[in-house]
Structures are given as C-alpha cells and as structure tokens.
Amino acid sequence: MNGIVYLNGEFIDAAAAKVSAFDRGFIFGDGIYEVVPVLNGRLVDREDFWERFERSLAAIELSLPLSKSDFGGVLEEVVWRNNLKEGGVYMQITRGVADRDFKFIKGLKPTCFVFCYEKDIVANPDAATGIEVVSVEDIRWKRRDIKSISLLAQCYAKEQAVKAGAYEGFMVENGFVTEATSSSAFIIKDNVLITKPLSNEILPGIRRKVILGFAEKAGLEIRQRPFTMQDVYDADEVFISAATLPIL
C-alpha cells in the first residue's frame, strides 16, 4: 500500500497508518464501511453512498466523528492528494478502542479511516469478454442490508467461486439467489429485468438503484422477485453490478 490516507484527523503516508490491536474493528469486526467510485477525479453518486453509510452506522448505534460536510471534505482531499482519476474511495468507521467485551461500549472515540485506490471502471477488460459465475451457499448473517466490515462469509464464498474457476459467485439460500459475493445480481428473460427485492437479506446496491432507474426510463419491464439458479441458466442475459465495476 502506498499514497496518502486519512486516519483519525490526520493525512499521513499509508505506510505510517497504525491502529490499536484492541480496536473493536480488529477484535470483533465492529464497524461500517463504504466505497464511493471516482471517475475523472470526482466522486460519483456520493449522496446515495452517504445515505447508505449513515443508515448502516445508525443500525449498529455508531456515531460519525465528523460532520457530513467535513467528512465529504476528507474524501475529496484524499482523492486530490493521491491525484486519483478513476477508482474508488474506501471509508471505514469502527467503534474504537476498548477492552474486549461483546456488548457495545458507550463513549468510545470511533476510529475513522479513508484511503483510495486506482481501478479501471469504464475500460474494465472483463466488460468485453464477459465473466463466469458459479453458485455458492449463502452462509451470511440476517442483516445483510448493513454494510458491515465483517466480511468473512463473503470472502469464503468468493474463494469457493475462484477455486471453481469463476470470477463471481451467486449466493444461494433456500433455493434462491440472494446476490453475488461482492455485487448485485440481475437476469433478463423475455425483455423483463429481474432482481431480488430489497430486504434485510441483501445490500441495497447503489448501482442497482441506478440500473433500475435507467431501465424504467427505457420502458423495460422490471420484476423485483426471487429467482433460482435454474432461472439464471434459462435467462437471455445475466449480469452483475457494483460500485467500482461496469455492468459485467
């Protein structure tokens, strides 16, 4: 890792960034994260990503240590200091440092960390070739609408997909696809766009929201309903979306 990051009020070299071994994010995965895409050096759909970030923080009773305006300034400065033109900005808030205790500890100073990275979004080579997807078991917790930093289940599922020779895994629970390991899942059949409806079973993807908006304006029929892997096999088109990906 290199470049300039933001950590608890300071802009520092990435190699110098250090947090306590007793941070609850390290011990429990007690924190929230968000990734905002950057195109042409500018944050894209920042308000939508911010609203989701705030919802996730509120869901686990975690307060932001900065105002919305100040935090937005931090994101912009990280992009500027690193001269980022295309990629993503990662922001993470954990509950802070405390003795190990399962209950939420009140009055802690949250740990705030922001970094950015380069990534080809528009010219992603996978967009030209397409990707392979396999099914994997969805073993996650029941609050998948919260963008928690606890991502072991997703990492495990992604690894199973990669070992099977695929780019992505469609997670399956009770016979139905919930979403992909790190993206939203869609199919098209007979000119109907199908995706699972929002609930606590999936993350409310920002790209998902944008795609549904475009589809509606284009007059494409949309059905938000559960679908199976057999539906995937029978579909005319299958694709995924995520913050720092084109439609794949």
CA gap 6, 113 in Å, rounded: 6
Instruction: Determine the length of the chain.
Output: 248
For residue 47, what is the DSSP state?
H
CA gap 52, 115 in Å, rounded: 19
CA gap 150, 188 in Å, rounded: 31
Opening angle at CA 93, ends 89 and 99, nearest 5: 145
Rg (CA), the chain: 19
Residues with Cβ within 8 Å of residue 74, at least 6 apart in sequence: 6, 66, 114
CA gap 154, 172 in Å, rounded: 12
Closest of 71, 158, 82 to residue 117, by C-alpha: 82
Residue 198 φ/ψ, nearest 5 degrees: -65, 140
Bridging pattern class, strands 111-118 and 221-224: unpaired
Return the active site residues.
147
